[in-house]
């Protein structure tokens, strides 16, 4: 299932960070993406919630270490 999630997530990342060439993987974390600050993070979370029709609890997001963990959480919520 993760392989089906990575494409839309990558599209969301490209839109939020305004970089059409941005590549992400399961190991990508905030330090890997220029401009990934707290404001961009909130925009990213909101866009992901809207796209997948899910809601994250604040506590769920605090412990995520990379995109792979975010994808696992999305899978769990779907």
2 pLDDT band (50/70/90 cuts)? low
Provide the whole-model pTM. 0.89
List, in order of start, the domains of the chain with CATH numbers.
2-77 (1.10.1200.10)
Predicted local confidence at residue 63, as pLDDT: 84
Q: Is the pLDDT assigned to residue 68 strictly greater than 90?
A: yes
- Tokens of residue 56, six digits: 């994250």
User: What confidence score (pLDDT) does residue 64 get?
Assistant: 87
Closest by Cα among 53, 48, 19, 45 to 34: 19
Question: In 28-59, which positions are buried (b, 16+ CB within 10 angstroms) versus exposed (e)?
Answer: bebeebeebeeebeeebbebbeeebeeebeee
């Amino acid at each position: 299932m993760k392989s089906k999630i990575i494409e839309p997530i990558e599209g969301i990342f490209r839109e939020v960070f305004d970089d059409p060439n941005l590549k992400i993987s399961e190991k990508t974390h905030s330090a890997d993406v220029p401009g990934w600050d707290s404001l961009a993070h909130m925009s990213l979370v909101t866009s992901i919630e809207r796209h997948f029709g899910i809601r994250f609890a604040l506590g769920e997001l605090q412990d995520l270490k990379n995109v792979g963990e975010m994808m696992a959480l999305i899978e769990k919520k779907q």
